[in-house]
Structures are given as C-alpha cells and as structure tokens.
Structure 1
Amino acid sequence: MGKSSRTKARNAAATPLAEGEVGPRQPCPCGSGRRYKACHGDPSGQVQAYVGRPFEGLDSECDLVALRELVPSATAPLTLTADGAPAVTLCSLLPGAAPALVRDNGEVWLGLQVQHNFGDPSRDLGAVLEKALAASAAQQTGVVGLTENPGSGPRLQDLVTADALDISVHDGFGFWIADAERTPEMEAALEQANGAALPTSRLASVEAAYWTSVGTKEHLRWVMPEPEDALLDALSRLHAARDDSIAEGSRLVGMFRAHGVLTPVWDLPLGTGAEVLEEAAADFRQRLQEALDDDSDLSTAQRSARAGLANRQVTIR
C-alpha cells in the first residue's frame, strides 16, 4: 500500500462514527456475513440500500420487531388496503421457515422470521405477499418464496392498513395443522418445532412487552419505539436512581438493537410469571415517560449509568 493510501486509511479509521452508523469494514446489518462496504454499503449502488428501521410508520412496529426476532409462535390477521383480497394471517414462523403459504381454502399465511438479505425486510414481505395473493387468485396452493431482489416494489406499509395488530401468542405451533387431518409425519414435525418454542406471553397493559421463560430464568423483553439516544438517556436516569426495576428482584441487564429500535431486557426471579408484571409494567411506563420528558443534562452518575447500558447492547439486525 502506498503512502497516500495508508494516510487515507488512517484518516478514515480516525473519523468517529455517528451513533447507529455502520463502518465500511463492519459486518453488514442485513445479516449476509459480508462487510458493509461490500454489501449494502457498496458505493456502486449495485446492492439495494439497507433500511435501518423497516417497519416505521406502522402502529404495531414494535410488535412486528418482537414477532420477527423474539417471539417463537404468534399470529395476527392483516387488513389489506385492497378490496376483495383473501384472508391474510401474519405468522412469526411457518413450516420449513417458508416465506408464505397459500392454503387449500385460498387464505394466505405470511411468515415474518425469514431472512432474505435484500436490505429492507418490509419490501421483502411486500413482495412475498404480492406473490402469494397472485397465487391465491390463480387457485395455486403451497409454499410461496422469494428468490430475487424485489427492487422498488411495494413495502408492507403500502399493502396493509396501519392499524394495530390483534396478536395471539401460542404455546407452540399447533395452529399449523389445527384444521388438518394429522399424520404421524405431521405429529413428528410439530413435536420438533414445539421443542424450540419457549413459553411466552404478551403483556396487555403496555405495548410490545413479552414475558418468556427459558427454564432456569425468566425475562421481560420490551420493544420500545423511542429514538435510541432519548431512550438511553431516560433509562440512565432511572438506573442511576435505582428506579428501573419492573418487579421485585428484577434487574435491567441490557438490551437488544434490532430494526432501528431498542429492546430493554430484564432478568426476573424464577416463578415471577407474566400476570404480576401487568401493573408493574404500566407503572414503569409512566416513570419512563417522565424520564423521557426530562431534558436536563445528565449528571455524572447518570452518564456513568448510560455508558454501562450502552456497553450491554447486542445488535441483532
């Protein structure tokens, strides 16, 4: 490498990244495994631009993130903007991780937990949904996939209403074959899938908060829509004041970052369950809002708390 190239490389490395920005040599957030500069950060524009917050604008943005990344088994009916469309059900996961299924009665099931790596999960879902609707109209049943970049096609936001989703969380994947004649093969596949489904419940008192049990521990994972900087500041204020507990014995242990929003995670004492969290979560939401409304500078203790919380973030997507 020549001197000029080395100088440019050092200058680029010395330039600090804005919060949330991806460096050219870092892994691409799309999950492809390639460096950002060789994937969705390719300056040639040959790869579709990466969308950091793909579900923004939908009332159930945070629930969509939770169902895509955190919740094993859940369903929700979708209301399409087009008239005369068949019934469409959004599913966290479909058999064989299929992108979509057209059922024998013409209904469409759309799978959330599919990684296409085309840069915008919302556009990927829109493309799969359009293909499934076309197959349903042609009375074609079975799996519908997506093998090509959807380009500038419609996004999920363009095809469905923005209304909040009516989400049902399931104990397992029995809904896959609830109205089908069960065979030994089906039973075996269902048993295997159910073995990976951790017990999960969605809280009713707040939005996009999910209790789960992993056997030896219980967690509350709460997807929040506020901008990352503002949310970190608010959580830091509560953490420094030792006011960030959800229930007795709970502890804020970190957070996930996925699809442009943060998901704080609390460890809960074994045996806590979901029911006891309802009132406690509503109370915490009020305290958090008060902290969000506080625009004063962070104190030394709060800045220290913020640094600790920032170091306990794990980026999923």
Structure 2
Amino acid sequence: MSKRTAPEQKPAEDIPVVGRRQPCPCGSGKRYKACHGASGGAAKVKVTRPFEGLAAECELVALREFVPSATARLPLASGSEEIQLATVLPMAAAALVRTDGVAFIGLQVQTKSGDVSRDLARAVEWVRTAEPGESLAVVGPEDAPAGSVPARLQDLLDPDARLDVQVHEDFSWWMPEGVEATGEVAMSLERANSAIMPTQRLETEGVHAAYWVDATDRAHLRWVRPEPEERLISALARLSARGELALGEDSRYAGSFRAHGLLVPVWDLDREKHPDEWAEPAAALGRRLDEALASLDERSLDADERRARDGLRGRQITVR
C-alpha cells in the first residue's frame, strides 16, 4: 500500500522571535532554542491534554492507551462521509482505506508532533481523499494540505457527541468480509490476535469509558475520569476514608495512572466473575463518587481523608 503526502508547510502560528535562551513566547515553559526556535519547533510543543473540550475525551484516551481492539464511528461535525476510528490498524498504520472503501483512522500510532489531536485531524484529512487499498504509515506536519491552517480533532468533530464504541474479540475487522489476509498484513494480524487481552466495555447508566480487562493473573477495571486530578483524588480519598472505594468484597483499589491529562483509576477484580457482574457495582461506585465530588464544595477534607489522599497519591504513575 502506498503513502500519499502533501508538500511541507510552515507552522501557521505567528510566534515572535526572541533570544534563543529566553522563554518561548508560545507559553510552553521551554527556552526558545528548544521549542519554536528549533528546526520544526512547532511540532515539538507537547499538548498535555489533546482531547480537551470533546465529550468523547475519556473514550478517546481509553482507546489510545489500553483498549486492544475496538472501533467507533467518528462523529464528524460536517460532511456525509463515514470514517471509523480504530485502536490499532495493520502495521500500526495511521490511516487506511480498506479495499471495500471503508475508511479507518488509527489511534495507537507513532506521532511526529506533540499534539495527538492535530495528528489525528491530519489523518482524517488524508483519508478523505485516499483511494481504496491505500494506507498512511505515519502522520506528521507534512501530511497537512499545503497552505492550510492546521486543524485539530476539535475542529472536525461534534464536541457534544460521545463515541459508540464496539469492542472486538480479535482483529478480523481489519479485512473486508470474505477477504483473506496475506503477506505482511497476515503476519501483523496473527501477531495482534496472539497478544490481545480480553476486554469488555461496561455499559450501564452513568458509567462511561470504563473497561474490564483480563490480565491473565487477575482482572482489572480501568476507568478514565474527566475530573481535574486534584479534585478527583480528593473525592477518591473521601470514599477511601469511609471504606467505600472498592466495588465490593471481591475487589480492591489498585492505584491510578495519568494519560493525556486525565486520571485513570484502576481496581483489581475477581477474574472468576463475568464482566457484566461488575456493571452495577461500577454504577453504584459512580454514584458515590459523584456525591463525594459534590461534597468537596461544602467542606474540605478532614485528617483521615487527607491521610487517605496522601496514600492514593503514592500509587500514581504517568503513562503519557
């Protein structure tokens, strides 16, 4: 499959030139020589929370970071075309159009810039003019249309639309129905299927971007939350101090990790239970968490809750 590219363009942002050792005017906190003053500097500025402002933010983070095989229709704000968002594509492609004309954008890909949202938008623009059978290996600044203002995913999607995520048991959806994979695609498909961890999205009222994952020795619930980190940690600490942070007797709070500006709390679960059995406990926990979040406006944490908060902070890691 061939790669289609557009001529390289200069960054659209008008960043004034300052001394190379002075702070960059873009606000990144870096020296100008290490940011916009460097070759390709605009592409190196890292956006910590690339999906901010989208109702689908939490699902986008989950699909990019830990859901192995899933697809969802992109809720485009305009245009009649249908583009599928995907976790992983063959050979970790950034985008492709299957031979039957179905277009896909890959989330779990290498990127050339510090803004995942902008890279995904470039992949969307590429796939709109791609032909069946074509794929885009890696997306970067050179893939943007010449002379255009670089778009972000927020510019292309309905900001209020959530994703209708379909989790798959394998990667057979890579191929059109009735078509058998061959060559590198077949090898990539075999490797991907052998490495997949059973995953199921919990679908119940009030629960979004929560996934049951079977990690062989134990099962986990990974729940991407939209709240600011400090506020969420305080609410979790309030529940912990009350002994209400678990999903039941067969679970325990394991910790959390940061991904794309959001916090993802994780619970260890009894893997003998069916994933559906955790839906109602998750909904009940969500209600307790909402109550704890609301109570933060009424009173601050007491001594026990502050100790619980310190303990929760000690179990945090950063993924991206």
**TM-score (normalised: structure 1):** 0.81
Match of 2:194 in 1: 195
Larger RCO, structures 1/2 (Cα 8 Å, 6+ apart)? 2
Match of 1:121 in 2: 116
Match of 2:139 in 1: 146
SS of corresponding position for 1:251: strand
Match of 1:228 in 2: 229
Mapped partners of 2:112, 2:307: distance in 1: 36
Q: CA contact under 8 A between 2:170 and 2:193: conserved in structure 1?
A: yes
**CA shift at 1:210, angstroms?**
0.1
Q: CA contact under 8 A between 2:229 and 2:262: conserved in structure 1?
A: yes
Match of 1:274 in 2: 275
Structure 1: stretches of 5+ with no match in the other structure: 1-35
**Superposition pairs for residues 96-175 of structure 1, below 5 Å?**
96-135=91-130, 139=131, 141-144=133-136, 145-148=138-141, 152-162=149-159, 163-175=161-173
Q: Deviations over 1:52-100 (max 9, x none)?
A: 1111121111011000001000000113233243x20000000000000
SS of corresponding position for 2:276: coil
Q: Deviations over 1:200-254 (max 9, x none)?
A: 0000111010001011110000000011111000000111111101132211111
Matched to 1:197, the amino acid is I
Mapped partners of 1:301, 1:40: distance in 2: 47
Note closer, same or farther for the CA distance 1:231–1:286 as it changes in structure 2 (3 Å cut): same
Percent identity between matched residues is 43
Q: CA contact under 8 A between 1:40 and 1:119: conserved in structure 2?
A: no
**CA shift at 1:188, angstroms?**
4.4
Q: CA contact under 8 A between 1:211 and 1:221: conserved in structure 2?
A: yes
Q: CA contact under 8 A between 2:83 and 2:105: conserved in structure 1?
A: yes
Q: Deviations over 1:168-200 (max 9, x none)?
A: 001111111242421564554322211111000
- Hey, which bits of structure 1, 4+ residues long, moved more than 6 A? 38-41
Match of 1:53 in 2: 49
Q: Deviations over 1:261-288 (max 9, x none)?
A: 1000001123123111111011111100
Match of 1:20 in 2: none
Aligned length: 278
The farther-off stretch of 57-66 and 143-152 is 143-152
Cα RMSD for the two superposed structures: 2.2
**CA shift at 1:152, angstroms?**
5.0
Mapped partners of 1:43, 1:152: distance in 2: 17
